[in-house]
Amino acid sequence: MNVPDAVHPLPVELESDGETRRFWPCAVETDRGLVLVDAGFAHTADQLEAGLAEAGFDLSDVHLAFLTHQDGDHVGGLAHVVSETGAVVVASERAARVVDGSEPPRGSDSGDDRYEPVAVDVALGGEATLDTRAGPARVVPTPGHTPGHVSLYFEAASFLLAGDAVTAADGELNGPDPTFTEEMDEALASVRTLSELDISRTLCYHGGFAAAGSDRMAAIVADADADIRR
């Protein structure tokens, strides 16, 4: 998997309806420790820790938890991480209201009910940049899957941590999953925004890594436009 050296995918698995589903949180090295990007479910916490250990880290290395959005498959494991590490929690303003318990989570991917709420330390109203060992990671608003969804763009590495803005399957990059996307038009507009960046490799929370980026995203948007005209 050709992700930047400082990025450590931490796949976790869950059995549901007799199927094994895999999810892709990851950790990004910084000079101050790890940024955890999404946290999996409460009951995949041990897998997350095992993944960190395999990458040569410990849960206590996490100093910041960054959320792409508020769905339970991304946030359910956060309370454990924060109680163990005291990590600073960063999320978009829209996501923060759900993460902190002010608003209920939607009937999401996870099918989960209310996960344990966690206080959000930094609620982002727009773009921001995190300093990492894979270069600056720009927070790019990519609404559609949820209103406050964000992705992380590593320009120096031509790399995107997509969250759920796009998906992957068997190494192929695909568009947002219509079943779980609140506003498909908005989600496709976000894919268009991403297609204008310089991305050649993408890690999706659903489907994992794809050696593809801007060009494929432009094609996804063009296909969707063609479908609308048809």
User: Using CB under 5 A as the criterion, which residues of the chain lie in contact with Zn ion when the complex forms?
Assistant: 71, 73, 109, 164
Min CB(24)–Zn ion separation in Å: 10
Min CB(101)–Zn ion separation in Å: 19
Q: Residue 201 forms beta bridges with which residues?
A: 159
Q: Whose Cβ is closer to Zn ion: residue 29's or residue 73's?
A: 73
CA 49 – CA 57 distance, rounded (Å): 9
DSSP E strand boundaries for the chain: 7-9, 12-16, 19-23, 26-30, 33-37, 62-66, 88-92, 122-124, 128-130, 137-141, 150-154, 159-163, 167-169, 172-174, 201-204, 208-210
Q: Whose Cβ is closer to Zn ion: residue 28's or residue 204's?
A: 204
Min CB(113)–Zn ion separation in Å: 16
Q: Whose Cβ is closer to Zn ion: residue 63's or residue 97's?
A: 97
Cβ of 34: how many Cβ atoms within 10 Å? Answer: 27
Min CB(80)–Zn ion separation in Å: 18
Min CB(208)–Zn ion separation in Å: 13
Element (H, E) at 24: none
Q: Whose Cβ is closer to Zn ion: residue 29's or residue 109's?
A: 109
Element (H, E) at 227: helix 214-229
Q: Whose Cβ is closer to Zn ion: residue 29's or residue 44's?
A: 44
Q: Are strands 62-66 and 33-37 parallel, antiparallel or unpaired?
A: parallel
80: tokens are: 């454990």
